[in-house]
Amino acid sequence: MESASVQAARWLLGAEGRYRTRHRTTTGAGLTQPTIHAATKLFRTSKTHIGAHVKALREIGRPAFKPGSVGRPTSLLESKDRALKAYAHWLIESGSLATQDLLEAACNRLHAHRDPPAPPVCHNWYL
């Protein structure tokens, strides 16, 4: 079963096609062009999601698929995150304290090696 946003995108593309066909053959009286806003109300889903699916359906003929997690992207890539965890584990195993300042400094060093370098993490990153 397709999500509501995919169904809305398919409906919108079909309605646009029907509108163009009828608009050419009639005077256009009483016809309104379908919009994403109308699809949002009809299918109760996000305009952003509908727009992404409409774009993908027009360009590649299938709905948009976004692999990976949904939500805010992580500050570090998975490999860098594993390196930071290994560093924290090493600090603990060697008898040192894995303090917030040490871990933030290590994270900022990892950020500096990006291309282009990423800005330092905020103070709440550790929390």
| Domain locations in the chain as residue ranges | 4-60, 78-126
Of 15-24, 59-68, 83-92, which one has max mean pLDDT? 83-92
The overall longest dimension of the chain from CA atoms, in Å, is 82
- pTM of the model as a whole: 0.47
DSSP per residue, 37-96: HHHHHHHT--HHHHHHHHHHHHHHSS-----S--SSPPSS-HHHHHHHHHHHHHHHHTT-
Residue 114 banded pLDDT, cuts 50, 70, 90: confident
Mean per-residue pLDDT of the chain: 80
- Over residues 21-74, the pLDDT tens digits come to 776 665 555 667 788 888 899 899 989 888 888 888 888 888 887 654 555 555
Expressed in percent and rounded to 5, the helix, strand and coil fractions of the chain are: 60, 0, 40
- What's the Cα-to-Cα distance from 49 to each of 26, 66, 69, 72, 89, rounded to whole Å? 33, 11, 15, 16, 41
- Cβ atoms 102, 91 nearer than 8 A: yes
Contacts of 56 (CB under 8 A, 6+ apart): 62, 63, 64, 65
- Give the per-residue pLDDT at 115: 65
